[in-house]
Amino acid sequence: MPSPVPDQPTFPMNISVPEARQMLQGLLPAHEAETVPVGQAAGRFLYADLEARVSHPSATESALDGIACREADTLGSFRQCPTKLKVVGESRAGVPFSGSVGAGECVRIYTGAPVPEGADAICPVEQLEDDGPDDVWLLRPASPGDVRAEGGDFQLGEVVLRAGQRLTPARLALAVSLGHAEVRVRRKLRVALLSTGDEVREPGSVLTPGQVYDSNRYGLAAMLREAGTEVIDLGHAPDSPERLAELVEGAGGADVLLTSGGVSMGKYDFMRDLLLEQGRVSFWKVRLRPGGPAMLGGWRGLPVFGLPGNPVSSLVVFQVIVRPALTGEAPFSLRLRAATPFRAIADKTAYWRGNIVGGTVSDYGKQGSGVLRSLSDTGALVIVPEGQPVEIGDEVEVMLF
């Protein structure tokens, strides 16, 4: 049988990581919106900007327990003796003082309570001494800094959260404090997931030599859920072109199909052949390591991203190419000094696993694309640009995994 791998490909090969991300993103459907209660919106991506429906704080309020008074009354006389003020009332959270504070007067006030008219400063309870029920001594001047101004956090009508932002716990809490009971979020992308390989077995089964557990499908499903997508688990396909085609067919309702294995140069890499012979190929091979054989194509209108089977490769390619394309979020990275050298590859960006210790990063050592422990032990990918080795003391970009 002639090799399906063309001598003169009609599609791009050996493209860069940003090109690969962009091409995958280009095949995904436009975002659709749905409205969900805030209680169900954690981890979702905002479809539209969110405006504040209230100001926060909703009134000028105290940041402390103590008294509210006029700052001017408490300045000046401190070197000689403390100031004495008359207590004319109380303001507590939810029950404000209705009068106003005049010269030489104060009201007892508690955290979150509105600062009464006339008052402009707070003196904390730790700095007060009662002189009977109606008078207090101030042991230090009152401070306007302990007053939270109305709208100081955000103002009514202000756009505070932006379309495309993921609702992290902090952003979800913020959305609620902006006054939203429901939010418009992106519909979850439906991602079908299929692993391939005659040697690949379900967890719990007994392995014979040469077999391997299907770690990719479980790791990828977890990454897909974390990326805010709905996973359609198509299970596992043996290395049979017919069975593979049948299972791919089952991905009908999905927005995109993600496969693991079978896209490399071997005789039994049937995922590659399915796209080359019966589908279409948008690109094959990306200039990165691990994960070089990644392939993007389509099968009967369904975008298909073929991840390499090697366990580290499949998770790294997901992290650096697929995840950013699905979420629109740039991968999070920071710059650290290298505590060991990192080798470069002439024509590929390397994502070496590194240990972060004391603000520096060092080579994990076992960089084989089958060594999953390199990812689970470190959680960090050191990005070494094509042909630019990293020396000890150089700054490197490190992506957290």
Cα–Cα dist 49/339, whole Å: 42
Q: In the complex, what is the shortest distance from the CB of residue 333 to ligand AMP, in angstroms, rounded to a whole number?
A: 26
Element (H, E) at 100: none
Q: In the complex, what is the shortest distance from the CB of residue 369 to ligand AMP, in angstroms, rounded to a whole number?
A: 8
Q: In the complex, what is the shortest distance from the CB of residue 169 to ligand AMP, in angstroms, rounded to a whole number?
A: 32
Among 197, 228, 293, 354, binds Mg ion (CB under 5 A): 197
Q: Which is nearer to ligand AMP, 200 or 375 (CB)?
A: 200
The interface mask with ligand AMP, positions 177-196, x = CB under 6 A, is ------------------x-
Q: Which is nearer to Mg ion, 303 or 309 (CB)?
A: 309
Q: Which is nearer to Mg ion, 143 or 240 (CB)?
A: 240
Q: Which is nearer to Mg ion, 57 or 309 (CB)?
A: 309
Cα–Cα dist 228/50, whole Å: 19
Q: Quick one: what does residue 260 bind among ligand AMP, Mg ion, none, with the CB cut-off 5 to 8 Å set by partner type?
A: ligand AMP
Among 309, 324, 331, 354, binds ligand AMP (CB under 6 A): 309
Cα–Cα dist 172/181, whole Å: 11
Q: Quick one: what does residue 354 bind among Mg ion, ligand AMP, none, with the CB cut-off 5 to 8 Å set by partner type?
A: none
Q: Quick one: what does residue 291 bind among Mg ion, ligand AMP, none, with the CB cut-off 5 to 8 Å set by partner type?
A: none
308 binds ligand AMP (CB under 6 A): yes
Q: What is the DSSP string of 300-353?
A: TTEEEEEE-SSHHHHHHHIIIIIHHHHH-PPPPEEEEEESS-B--BTTBEEEEE
Q: Which is nearer to Mg ion, 141 or 262 (CB)?
A: 262
User: Judging by DSSP bridges, how do beta strands 61-62 and 147-148 pair with one another?
Assistant: antiparallel
Q: Which is nearer to Mg ion, 57 or 262 (CB)?
A: 262
* Residue 352, phi then psi, degrees to nearest 5: -85, 145
Residues in region 26-45 near Mg ion by CB under 5 A: none
Q: Which is nearer to ligand AMP, 267 or 335 (CB)?
A: 267
Give the distance from CA 181 to its chain's centroid: 23
Cα–Cα dist 310/291, whole Å: 8
Residues in region 77-136 near Mg ion by CB under 5 A: none
- Residue 293, CA distances (Å) to 108, 113, 179, 376, 395 in order: 70, 62, 48, 23, 29
260 binds ligand AMP (CB under 6 A): yes
Residues contacting Mg ion: total by CB under 5 A: 4
Give the distance from CA 265 to its chain's centroid: 34
Beta bridge partners of 87: 106
Among 91, 264, 282, 355, binds ligand AMP (CB under 6 A): 264
Q: Quick one: what does residue 114 bind among ligand AMP, Mg ion, none, with the CB cut-off 5 to 8 Å set by partner type?
A: none
Among 91, 127, 310, 367, binds ligand AMP (CB under 6 A): 310
Q: Quick one: what does residue 141 bind among Mg ion, ligand AMP, none, with the CB cut-off 5 to 8 Å set by partner type?
A: none
Question: Do 199 and 187 meet the contact criterion of CB atoms below 8 Å apart?
Answer: no
DSSP state of 255: S
* Residue 377, phi then psi, degrees to nearest 5: -70, -35
Q: In the complex, what is the shortest distance from the CB of residue 248 to ligand AMP, in angstroms, rounded to a whole number?
A: 15
- Residue 59, CA distances (Å) to 54, 94, 148, 177 in order: 11, 11, 8, 14
Residues in region 307-336 near Mg ion by CB under 5 A: 309
Q: In the complex, what is the shortest distance from the CB of residue 177 to ligand AMP, in angstroms, rounded to a whole number?
A: 44
Residue 210 sits at the vertex; the CA angle it makes with 205 and 216, to the nearest 5 degrees, is: 65
The interface mask with ligand AMP, positions 198-227, x = CB under 6 A, is -xx-----------x-xxxx----------
Question: Do 318 and 220 meet the contact criterion of CB atoms below 8 Å apart?
Answer: yes
**Interface residue list for Mg ion (CB under 5 A):** 197, 261-262, 309
**Interface residue list for ligand AMP (CB under 6 A):** 195, 197, 199-200, 212, 214-217, 260-262, 264, 266, 269, 308-311
